[in-house]
Each structure stands twice: as C-alpha cells, then as structure tokens.
Amino acid sequence: MTEKVERAGHAENHAAEREADTVVRVRSVLPSLPPAERRVAQRVVDDPEGVAASTITELAQACDTSETTVIRFCRAVGFSGYPDLRLTLASEAGRARGETGGRVVGSDIGPDDTLTDVVEKISFADARAVEDTGAQLDIAVLERVVEAVVTARRVDIYGVGASAFVAADFQQKLHRIGRVSYAWSDTHIMLTSAAVLGPGDVAVGISHTGSTIDTIEALKTAGNKGATTVALTNFPRSPIARAADLVLTTASRETTFRSGATSSRLAQLVVIDCVFVGVAQRTYGPTRRALEATYDAVRSRRTRDGSRGRR
C-alpha cells in the first residue's frame, strides 16, 4: 500500500513532467480531467499552434467554458498559468516545424490524403511515439521494475487484444534468458494465474488505454495476493495505473484509422526492451550463457546462408 501511495504521489508531481512534450502530457491525462477541462485539453491536442495564438478569452469561448476553467486546466497539467502554456506551445510548435522542414505531418489522416501523405504521417507518428516514450520514461520507476523482475520468483504478464502481442514478446524475451515467466490473454487464465501469485512474484499488466477490465482485475488479484504489480499504459491516471504499485508510461497517439495502432505497440515494445535490457545487465553472466545456449538450440533450424536464413 505504501508503494501505491508513493507512486500515486509521484504521478501527481506535474513539475517533474514538464520535460515531456506538452501535447504528449496533455493527451496522457485528458481522460482523467473534468468535462470542461477536457474540452480545453482536446483543443490543445488538436490545434496546439492555434491555442498558442489565442487569448485566454478566445480559448475559453472556443471550448464553451470559462477563463477560470482554462487556468485550472493549465495548473492541472503543470503550468503556472495560461501565458506559460502559450509560450511553451509556441516554442514547441516552432521546434517541430524546424524538424519537419515546415511540413505538417503530425496531423490525423484525412479522407483526401494521398497514399504518400499516409506513409509520411504514419512514419512520423511511429517515430514520434518511440522518441516521446523514451523522453518521458521515469528512470527511477524503471529501475524499481528492473530490480523487481531480477529478484522475482516468477513473472506473469497480462494483456488482451493488441497488448497481448506485447505481453507475448516480453515473456519470450524473459524466458530466453532463463526467467520463469508466463504471458496470459485469456480472462479466466489471467485471473487463476494471478490467484496463485504471492510475495516475491511480479505481475505486469499491459493496456494502452489503461481501462481494459480483464487486465485490471488480473492485476488487482495479483496485488491482493502480495505480488509486486506493474502497469504499462499510455495514461498515467487511468484505472490500471491506480491498481499498480509501479507505473511505466508510453507516449503514443491513436488516430481515426489506427485504434490499437502500430505506434502504440512500438511504444510499449520500447519500454519492454528497456526493462529486458536492464534485467540482462544485472544478470550479465547467466544471461550471456542463456542467450548462447538458446541460439545454439535453434542453429540447425537456419539455412547456411545467414543473409537469407538468420532471424
């Protein structure tokens, strides 16, 4: 319980979040905001340059709310007030234009976009998801997750839908270096596996939205049995984050045609890789031996021409 309180307090420390891109941060907390503040947040996400160019009165009117609500929103996401938000958005917009040569590639895909536009926007979104996730990843929490996995008797990983693929990838990585780990996507098996965990075990719940009931319930069950619980989500104030001892966050944006998009999974895989490499570093000798043994075990299943057969 103490760890959960500490983690919750850390999640509310907006000053520490200021290093992350403003739109990324606003998007991550948007679902948890009151309705009026949520309208302001959505405007920031949809048109950050427009917000930067608007007065507080213009923004309040556009969002059908009051100037007081706009100020509350600014403080909720870590700014001292609206001038601070405008200045930051303008600065970030200018930097983004410089990175893309003035081209607008961060917007959603529209019905009139050419296939070239689609490729450019998807590539940009996926690359930004990886970069933004790395930039905002809480290293202190990551270290605690790595330590928990290193010392764990067993690691159970829960995920359904697209998150199930990420869970399977994490399980395969851990299993290959000799870590006892299981990935579950069936609700009944998730709950029964969680019910037999205990102190010294680790349960990892993966959910982009943080609101997948099956994954949340499995994580809560594992926590009630004494296991250390870890959530991997895009939204640090989501239900799964509140159910976990430790929370790792991604920073990706799903679009009209890409619910459960590749960018979300790529961002999740970046975090999983960071955890895995951290574990491998802490157990360098045994990990090297395990990797060599597993590579040798499948060597005969590859063609002699490594350029064509090696995976």
Based on the domain organization, do 58 and 150 belong to the same domain?
no
Based on the domain organization, do 237 and 188 belong to the same domain?
yes
Integer CA distances (angstroms), 104 to 12, 93, 107, 129, 257, in order: 32, 10, 7, 16, 18
pLDDT per residue as tens digits for the range 203-212: 999 999 999 9
pLDDT score for 261: 65
Residue 20 C-beta-side C-alpha neighbours within 13 Å: 29
Domains identified in the chain, total number: 2
Based on the domain organization, do 159 and 219 belong to the same domain?
yes
How far is 194 from 214, CA to CA, in rounded Å? 12
Phi/psi at 86 (nearest 5 deg)?
Answer: -60, -45
| pTM of the complete model | 0.79
CATH of the domain at 51: 1.10.10.10
Based on the domain organization, do 149 and 275 belong to the same domain?
yes
Asked whether 51 and 44 are in contact (CB, 8 A), the reply is yes
- Measured from the Cβ of residue 122, the count of other Cβ atoms closer than 10 Å reads 18
Helix 82-99 to helix 22-29 angle (10° resolution) is: 120
Residues with Cβ within 8 Å of 284's Cβ and at least 6 positions away in sequence, in order, are none
Based on the domain organization, do 160 and 270 belong to the same domain?
yes
Helix 262-282 to helix 139-151 angle (10° resolution) is: 60
Based on the domain organization, do 81 and 181 belong to the same domain?
no
Strands (E), 1-55: none
Asked whether 165 and 212 are in contact (CB, 8 A), the reply is no
pLDDT for 215 beyond 50:
yes
Task: Give the domain extent around 281.
Answer: 139-299
Based on the domain organization, do 203 and 290 belong to the same domain?
yes
How far is 252 from 266, CA to CA, in rounded Å? 9
β partners of residue 182: 156
Strands 228-233 and 246-249, sheet pairing? parallel
pLDDT per residue as tens digits for the range 111-131: 888 899 888 888 888 888 898
Lowest mean pLDDT among 61-70, 121-130, 174-183: 121-130
Residue 113 belongs to some domain of the structure? no
Binning pLDDT at 50, 70 and 90, where does residue 62 land?
A: very high
Average pLDDT, the chain: 86
pLDDT for 8 beyond 60:
no
